[in-house]
Structures are given as structure tokens and as C-alpha cells.
Chain A
Amino acid sequence: MSRVNILSVCGSGTVTSTMVAEKLKERLLDDGYQVHATEARPTEALNMAQSGSFDVLVHTSPLPSGDYGIPVINAFACMTGIGEDKFFADVVAALHGVGK
């Protein structure tokens, strides 16, 4: 089991980021990942992403532009369920890409 840190960003850093984080925790278990998720607001996302504490960033809100330094993946599919499998596959591929 590989422990990974995911930054989950939505408008208020509460509702949808929590929904997405919970889905990731459940689904990525099957891929051998123990997900530790931190919810954040868009305004704090860039600083947190650059802190070096996170492996990937997922988001349901628009993000301010900037160099996040980690893979950034749109999590909207988690809300609709449409394209959700591709979303999880993208997150896993991104984790592989950062050596996790």
C-alpha cells in the first residue's frame, strides 16, 4: 500500500472537494493507494501545491493560472459519474508519473 497526498480543490474548499476526496480514497484503494486528501480553496491552491507536500491536485472549480509544479487533473467527472473511470485512471497515471 503506497501512501499518497492529494490536494482536492473546490470553490469553498468544502463540499465538492470533500465528495471528490472520498471517492478517491475509496477507488484508489483497489490500485494499492492509501489516499490522504486535503481540501482547499482555489485561492490557497497554488501555495499549497508548491509546498512539496502533495503528489497531485484535483479540482472542481476554476483554478488561478500558475505553475503548480504537480499534475493538475479536473475532477468534474466525479460529479456526473460520466467519464469517472477515465478520471481515476488519469489520477493513477499521474501518480505513476511522479514515482508513486
Chain B
Amino acid sequence: MIWESLTDSLICRDIEASSYQDVMKIVGGKLTDAGYVKESYVDALITRERSFPTGIDMNGVGVAIPHTNPEHVNQPGIAIGVLRSPVSFFQMGTTDVKVSVKLVFVLAVTNPNAHIGTLQRIIQVIQDTKVLKDIIAAADAAEIIHIIQAKEKAIENK
């Protein structure tokens, strides 16, 4: 599971950003720094978001799951960003519905068919608004990892 490979270096809190482009540079940049993705990745994220938005209003909590094509990715991973103030994204499936986003999960995906379990797990985690709120309120990266691990455990014990 990708969640188990989460590290402090892939989690950014208190991000000051004024646009989704800034968010991509900061959070996506963590994946670049850690070698998960190629230098072309962040620009590809921004370009793709413009045409195919990834904002989701999850029952009142704005979240986004930016991602892009596998050719920009070396190995699968997730970077998490918590924004100090919300930034506007557009809602997935639209080009004109704005979502005020406070939390982003930037996905580095290679072959999606090889990671179906992980993709489903991501959906299960982000659909839990309490988990999203807890991540936003978390005091540090370790707490964020703990929240996600606890959620995964709950899913597995169902």
C-alpha cells in the first residue's frame, strides 16, 4: 500500500499558496526531490489540472487529487499538502465549478491497473470527511500518518 510508504518528507503542512499552480510546485516538488517523479512532473500536473480538474467537494471539505500521466513518474507515491488558507481548484468533471481546497493528495501513478487496490484505498480514505478534517487539524506529519494508518486498519477490519 502506498499509504504505508508515507514519510515526513512527502507531507507538507501550513502551505502558503495563492494558486493551485503554487500548490503543485510545493507539494509535487516533494515527489521530485524524493526521486519519485521526473523533472517534467510538476509542469505536467499543472497542465493536466487546467484541462482535467481534480477538485472534489467532499461533503463540505475541499480536497484535490492532482495526478498526471505515467511517463512523468519513476515510482508510485503520494505527497500530502495541507494549506494554511484554501485555494481555488475546479471540480472534477467540470471546467467552471470552483472548489475551495484545503487538502491535496498529489498522486504519482505508474501503471494504474497494477495499483487498483491502492486507488480504491485512496478513495475510501478521502471519502471519510472526518479523516480529512483530522488531517487538516493534525499537529505534525507523524499525526497525519497515524490518522491514515488508523483509517486503513479500520477498512481492513471491516
Report A's interface with B, CB cutoff 8 A: 10-12, 14-16, 18-19, 22-23, 39, 42, 59-62, 74-76, 78-82
Contact = CB atoms under 8 A, between A and B. Distances in A.
- Tell me the dominant secondary structure on chain A's binding face: mixed
B123 A18 contact: no
Interface residues of B, number: 28
- Tell me the dominant secondary structure on chain B's binding face: mixed
B26 interface: no
Contacts of A18: 112-113, 116, 119
Interface in B34-68: 48, 51-52, 54, 56-59, 65, 67-68
B112 A14 contact: yes
Contacts, number: 65
B18 interface: no
A4 B4 CA distance: 36
Contacts of A16: 54, 65, 92
Contact of B120 (A11, A19, A62): A19
A78 B126 CA distance: 12
B97 to A, nearest CB: 10
Contacts of A61: 52, 92-93
B109 interface: yes
A42 B68 CA distance: 14
B75 interface: no
Given A22-B119, A62-B93, 5 more contacts: A18-B116, A23-B120, A61-B52, A62-B52, A81-B123
Given A19-B119, A79-B123, A81-B127, A62 B94 contact: yes
